[in-house]
Amino acid sequence: VNERTIEALKAADRALADQTISREADRRIRAQIRSLERRPTRIAPFALAAASFATGALCAAIWIGREARVVPPKEHLGLHAAEPTCQLESTSDRMTVGGTCLLEEEGFSILASNAVISREGAAVRVARGTATFDVAPVPPGKQPFRVLVSGGVIEVIGTRFVVIENGDRGRVELVHGKIRFIAESGDTSELSPGEGLSWPKAIAPIAPPPPEPLPVVEAHGAEPKPRPNAPPVRAPKALEVAAPPVEARALDSNTTAELARLRAEGRYEEAVSLLARLLDEPFEPRSAELLSFERASILDRQLRDRDRACTAYEAHRARFSGGRYDREIRERIEILSCGGNSPEGRE
Amino acid sequence: MELGAIATREPTEAEVIEALYERHHAEVYRLALRYGGGRVAWAEDVTQDVFVSLIGAVHRLREVEDLGGWFYRVTTRRCMTRISRERFRALAPVRWFFGNDPPEVERPDETLAKRSELFAALGALDALPPKERVAFAMHHLDGKELKEIGQVLGHSKGYVSKLIKRAEERLGRISS
């Protein structure tokens, strides 16, 4: 481009600079500027959509927040504690149940009482305490549910049974269904309903317990006492004369669920009343023992009613002396200083 | 209306924009007229766009020290965008797809101006692609540095230099 062209352009530009904006345009632009402030804010369509979305999101957040406030059942080692009031102390590998707790998982539930429970893969280990298992039938071809105890493994096909574990010795009692006990030595033993088995010594299933309550049995010397130095137990008169009811029944799942519900709702007095009524019914001895212990445990740990708890513990000991919960009850009686004397002192 | 005249109270946004219009519209209009090839209606539209677009953004101008320079850059960019859009719409496939816009009615004063020799040179500038036109005009007519041109166009100094060179070659061919 030559200088002449650039000069011509500069001259044209200067000529343009001399031109001013027309009056009409000037008026129009000024009017438009002034009108801008008076113009109502136009809501853009996207703003409307954004506002709708924000409202929806807010509603969703409120709803989620309300849902989140509903406390879901606590999970411990993959087990849901059905009762929010359960006295559970849980670590990464084991849980300690104070009192009685209903623990649930798909396929089985555990009514654990003063127990220490851990998980080993799909299996459940009862390290200490009493645990009543209710296992849904296992389909053929699938791995059976396994409960690990100090004396071996209990394989479950689908049943209800009670495990009592004292650390180095224990016992399993089958309520109904079928279980197989595999001892550490490799010996296996299948149990039928009503049968029980103790470890570490006995591997053969023991005969079903006699229908009489435990104190009567012990008084007659039909079964060896677990502790040779235990003091002789005086069975209450009423139990000595009362013949076991022929139609004695086992604890059914409806009753267990009702008790669990009352516990979950914190209706402990009603639970105690229900247990008192149930104890008047003709339950088979082991169920009655569990119910009696449950009543005393609620009075002690949940209601913290020392006097009534002491009475319940004493009544339990009198009726089920040398029973499954004897050790726990002795400990509690000591802790509560029932009657101001040690249990040994009263005996 | 001057900014100082409304300083006794908090001016409204419209008052601030009107004051800015009062002070800077001539420069904006001149630039628009240049890049629009002398088209008055085109330049008026650009001027209106520049000031109307300030609504809602006046508070940002309080931090701008050189308002003249700011209007220069904004107007130049707006003109370049408008020219690019027009050139795109002038493409045959686009015209076929969207249909032909009605031709702009040329005002009598524009017709008269274009007859003069001065505006013939401006017509040659009008033939340049938008970026080359802006780079050439900023460099040769406004004496701007390559760096400043690059800031307006969003390109490096080297590329701006290339754009100016291309524009010069193109104008040389047109004038010869």
Question: What is the interface pTM, i.e. ipTM, of the complex?
Answer: 0.75
Q: Rounded mean pLDDT of chain B? A: 81
Residue type, A187: D
Q: Name which residue leads in pLDDT, B110 or B59.
A: B59
pLDDT tens-digit map of A127-145: 888 888 888 877 777 778 8
Q: Name which residue leads in pLDDT, A207 or A96.
A: A96
Interface with chain A: mutation pick from B20, B54, B122, B174, highest number of A CBs within 10 Å: B122
**What pLDDT is recorded for position A39?**
55
Helix (H, G, I), strand (E, B) or coil at B47: helix
A344 confidence band (pLDDT: 50, 70, 90):
very low
Alpha-helix residue ranges (DSSP H) falling in chain A: 3-18, 23-38, 45-69, 214-220, 237-241, 253-264, 268-279, 285-297, 306-319, 326-336, 343-346
**What pLDDT is recorded for position A347?**
36
Average pLDDT over residues A198-204: 62
Q: State the nearest Cα–Cα gap between B96 and chain A, in angstroms.
A: 30
Q: Do B47 and A29 touch (CB under 8 A)?
A: yes
Average pLDDT over residues A254-266: 77
Q: Name which residue leads in pLDDT, B102 or A216.
A: B102
Is the pLDDT score of B13 beyond 50?
yes
Is the pLDDT score of A208 beyond 60?
no
Average pLDDT over residues A211-231: 41
Residue type, A59: C
Average pLDDT over residues A266-285: 86
Q: State the nearest Cα–Cα gap between B35 and chain A, in angstroms.
A: 10
Is the pLDDT score of A297 beyond 70?
yes
Inter-residue contact B169 to A1 (CB < 8 Å): yes
User: DSSP states of B60-91 as a string?
Assistant: HHTT-S-HHHHHHHHHHHHHHHHHHHHHHHTS
Q: Name which residue leads in pLDDT, A194 or A59.
A: A59
> Of the segments A75-79, A253-257, B142-146, which one has the largest average pLDDT value?
B142-146
Q: Do B55 and A19 touch (CB under 8 A)?
A: no
Contact list, B122 vs chain A (CB under 8 Å)? 9, 12-13, 16
**What pLDDT is recorded for position A223?**
42
Average pLDDT over residues A203-229: 43
Average pLDDT over residues A210-217: 41
Which residues neighbour A174 within 8 Å (Cβ) at sequence distance 6 or greater? A159, A160, A161, A191, A192, A193, A194, A195, A196
Average pLDDT over residues A50-78: 77
**What pLDDT is recorded for position A243?**
42
CA atoms of B70 and A62, how far apart (whole Å)? 48
Is the pLDDT score of A103 beyond 60?
yes
Contact list, B125 vs chain A (CB under 8 Å)? 9
Q: Tell whether A11 is within 8 A of chain B (Cβ).
A: yes
Average pLDDT over residues A27-38: 82
Distances (CA, A) of B40 to A279, B36, B45, B122: 106, 8, 9, 14
**What pLDDT is recorded for position A177?**
80
Tokens of A57: 């999101």
